[in-house]
Amino acid sequence: MIKDDEQHDAIQEAVLAKCSVQDGGISGTARLVDKEQDPCTIVIFGASGDLTQRKLVPALYRLYSEGGLPDSFLVVGTSRTEMGNDGFRDKMKKAIPLYCDLDRAMWKDFASRLYYHPVDYHEVSAFMSLRDFLEHIEEQNHLMGNRIYNLAIPPSLYKTTIQNLGQSGLSDQKKRKHGWIRVVIEKPFGRDLETAIDLNNTLRKNFDEHQIFRIDHYLARETVQSVLMFRFANSIFEPLWNRNYISNISIIAAESLGVEHRAGYYEEAGVLRDMFQNHMMQLFAMTAMEPPSLFEAERVRDEKVRLFRSLRPFTSVDQGEDVILGQYDGGIIEGTEVPAYRDEPGINPESLTPTFATMKVFVDSWRWQGVPFYLTSGKRMARKLTEIIINFKEVPHSVFRTVLGEHISTNRLIMGIQPDERITLTFQTKNPGARISLRSVTMDFNYLQNYKGPVLDAYEKVLLDVIGGDHMLFWRQDGIELTWAFLTPILEFCETCSDRSDRLFFYKSGTWGPEPAGDIMKSHDHKFQGKTDS
């Protein structure tokens, strides 16, 4: 005889098996895309580099294996390295098993679509040669000429490559009889407001805005996208999503890793350029933006820009009231001793580059007036953790004050982004027994619970959207300029202030950052998530 809970589970599985994505359910055979995709050629600049091997080609292979790519497509790698088609295919074949399983039969067909053509980024003639090569293989494979140019190259080569794409005619969609052309730009989008504007000017001289896709792969994470769904598809939460009910909001993106092989880049960028201008601002926007009238790319991006315009400017960066900067010292991560930032290979031993920052941000709007947002990110912290924490206000009047006292723990909503993709809600209930007492309990939802379909990696989602021409998860230039302008006072302090060394606080690797960072958040009774475990 089946027990009640076992019978319930059996019924649940039967119902789920009949559900489909189209009717709001869950399916083990869910389609990755719900419309026919245009055939295209994906040209990867920087094909011999780390990003191509670790992310782009493995993501393309997995999309292909899941039926997520067009029936007709080509992938053309290009870089300064001299390499033929076979050499490129062998290189990618070695990289893919580090990312996902490699099916021999499937690989054989996928590899036949991989090509390689060397290019000197500084020579227009090399781009003209690439143009002829692309036209030749597209004609051979009966492709109409839809193209994606993915710039997986160092930012220092962006302008030169974009200019040569234009001068060689590779960017001109109007002169082509058939097809579209799109360009994908990896972050960083400049290193400050001035360079961001300069880069955009170069882009716009050679591409129209609708052709430009500025990647922020954080936005492509499933759980980041679900923040908007959670807010705007549930009537029980959105009415509370304002200054009347929320005390403060904390967004944290902590990493346990150090600078690793990125010392040269990181020494120039620091945590503000590496994380705050892009990833942290996007997480903040998803949490705080107003609801768009429709879930369409431009309307969603309009609301993000409106939010960025409402950010209250920093006025006391040098006094440590709104911003705390830190740099990791030596310590222990997962039982292993790790060096200080200044002792990492390639780092200036007297470096003042911040590897940690926490800032208190305010939005001057009707919804959020007076509600502090705490944005925190850093390297070599206690563990890898990205989450959004909504701290609700205390009850206005404790009817239990004679037996429990005035203070009752507040409700807390946590949206976990990584490594735990989940949503938890903490609330108060009576503790069982004769004695009157409260206890905090948590409702916990695992994002992948009861889902049996394919789960997309961030780069897989990004590539799908570029092929489909969907700008929803990509930056728009006005948003980039507004966020750079907002961070400019902090950047200027970090790089020009004479006493900035006195405002850089050191923290042990394997902890949650410098002590003064906790002081900022304690001012609003915020308890840092993650405790002290490593």
For 328, list phi and psi in degrees, rounded to 5: -75, 140
- With left for phi above 0 and alpha for psi between -120 and 50, is residue 328 left, alpha or beta? beta
Selection from 263, 291, 252, 284 nearest residue 419 by Cα: 252
SS3 sequence, 190-257? CCCHHHHHHHHHHHHHHCCHHHEEEECHHHHCHHHHHHHHHHHCCCCCHHHCCCCCEEEEEEEEECCC
Is residue 379 within 8 A of residue 514, CB to CB? The reply is no
Enumerate the H helices of 141-192 as residue ranges: 158-167
Nearest to 78 by CA among 164, 149, 145, 170: 149
Strand order in 474-475's β-sheet? Answer: 114-116, 73-78, 40-45, 147-151, 181-185, 212-215, 474-475
- In order, the DSSP letters of 291-302 are PPSSS-HHHHHH
Which distant-in-sequence residues (6+ apart) come within 8 Å of 401 by Cβ? Answer: none
Q: How many helices (H) and strands (E) does the chain have?
A: 16, 17
For residue 125, give both structure tokens.
Answer: 């003639």
Q: Which residues neighbour 101 within 8 Å (Cβ) at sequence distance 6 or greater? A: none
- Residue 327: beta bridge partners? 506
**Looking at 136, 178, 261, 279, which residue is catalytic?**
279
Tokens of 514: 């410098």
Active site residue 279: yes
Where is 487: in which H helix or E strand? helix 477-496
Query: Could you tell me the CA-to-CA distances from 514 to 249, 325, 368, 380 in Å, in that order?
Result: 20, 8, 28, 12
Annotated catalytic residues are 279
